[in-house]
Chain A
Amino acid sequence: MRKLALLSLLLACLFLTGCPRYDTVRKLSTEQLRVQQEFQSTMTKYFASMEQFAANQVVVDKMYYDDLLTEDIDNHQERFDKEIKKIKDDQQKSADQKADEIRDKSIEFGKRLEKKRAENATDKAELDVLLQEYKEKNKQILVTYQAILDAQVELDRYVQLKKFDEVITEQLFRKVGDKQRDLTRLFDEAAKIADKIKLKPAPPQAAQTN
């Protein structure tokens, strides 16, 4: 009988000290999960907006690249025209010499334009690649965060899970549960009394007489 009483006392202690701790942890876990889920939602929207912004910027940059190419071609065209005029105006060269030089200059000019257009296409393609890589990186971050969230969901599931000690106490000490608040109050009062005793000033000592 004494053993049974001891066992009961131990289980009661387990119940009285265990349950409030579980409740607090469970509330925190639920709130943490909610915050993380909302954060994921915000982060997803944020990434989508930034990706759109980057995509728009790429369009603007490509237009700017094309404008620069036009400027560049115009500059080279003007230079080419001047060179051709100079060849044509040269009195010391024969018609055949002039034709040869003009042909060479034209080929050179064509190659230069081809090179400029190729460079422009490469620069524009690089923007597309960078944008794609940026989107891919965002996707990786979101996938990583999903894994973190999945782990949190599983942790929360474990936290919310009724543990075996709770099952024992629930089954055996259901009646005690109602009294728990009263017991907590009694503990608080006992603690206050203990504090008062501790803080009580020392009794005055009798004056010494010679």
Chain B
Amino acid sequence: MTIQEMLEQLKQAKSKLEQADISDEARFDLEDLIIQTKRAIIRHSVDPLRDISQMTVIDVSQLRALTQQLGQDIQNEQRRTALIGKIIGIAKGGLRAAGLPLPI
């Protein structure tokens, strides 16, 4: 039985008690129970938010550290390619000056 179904049954029971001219005390208690049930429905309607707040977010500290390392490696690679470019340029110039044919 769902909470909604339970609430409906409580309301029906209240209606029957009223028709049967039952004591005020019993009617008040039932009314109180209905109100508390309605309150419980609202309280549980936000349970998914509770579940979300319990979730743990993935740890990305390692990712950040490795990203920084890669940044450093990129700088090194840029320096290396610049150096190689210069060396090849010098070598080609030297070959031309010596009158030797280039490989290609």
Contact = CB atoms under 8 A, between A and B. Distances in A.
Interface string A152-167: 0011011001111011
A154 B67 contact: yes
Dominant SS among interface residues on chain A: helix
Interface in B18-56: 24-25, 28, 31-32, 35, 38-39, 42-43, 45-46, 49-50, 52-53, 55
B98 interface: no
Given A7-B103, A167-B81, A123 B74 contact: no
Nearest to B88: A171
B57 A141 contact: yes
A78 interface: yes
Nearest to B63: A151
B35 A172 contact: no
A44 to B, nearest CB: 16
Contact of B104 (A78, A147, A173): A173
For chain B, give the interface size range: 35 or more
Contacts of B80: 164
A12 B104 CA distance: 9
A164 B49 contact: no
B94 interface: no
B89 A171 contact: yes
Given A158-B74, A172-B103, A173-B104, A137 B64 contact: no
- Which of A126, A136, A151 has the largest count of B CB atoms less than 10 A from its CB? A151
Interface stretch (A21-29, A65-73, A185-193, A198-206): A65-73
Across the A-B interface, give the 6 residue pairs with the lowest CB-CB distance, nearest first: A133-B53, A147-B60, A8-B103, A171-B88, A130-B49, A140-B57
Interface of A: 4-5, 7-8, 12, 54, 57, 61, 64-65, 68, 71-72, 75-76, 78-79, 82, 123, 126-127, 130-131, 133-134, 136-137, 140-141, 144, 147-148, 150-151, 154-155, 157-158, 161-164, 166-168, 171-173, 175-176
Interface of B: 24-25, 28, 31-32, 35, 38-39, 42-43, 45-46, 49-50, 52-53, 55, 57-58, 60, 63-64, 66-67, 70-71, 73-74, 77-78, 80-81, 84-85, 88-89, 92, 102-104
Given A61-B45, A65-B42, 17 more contacts: A54-B49, A79-B25, A123-B39, A133-B49, A134-B52, A137-B52, A137-B55, A140-B57, A144-B60, A148-B60, A148-B63, A154-B70, A157-B74, A164-B77, A164-B81, A167-B84, A173-B104
27 contacts: A4-B103, A61-B42, A64-B42, A71-B35, A72-B32, A75-B35, A76-B28, A78-B28, A126-B43, A130-B49, A130-B53, A131-B49, A133-B49, A134-B53, A137-B55, A141-B57, A147-B63, A151-B63, A151-B64, A151-B67, A154-B71, A163-B77, A164-B80, A164-B84, A171-B88, A172-B92, A172-B103
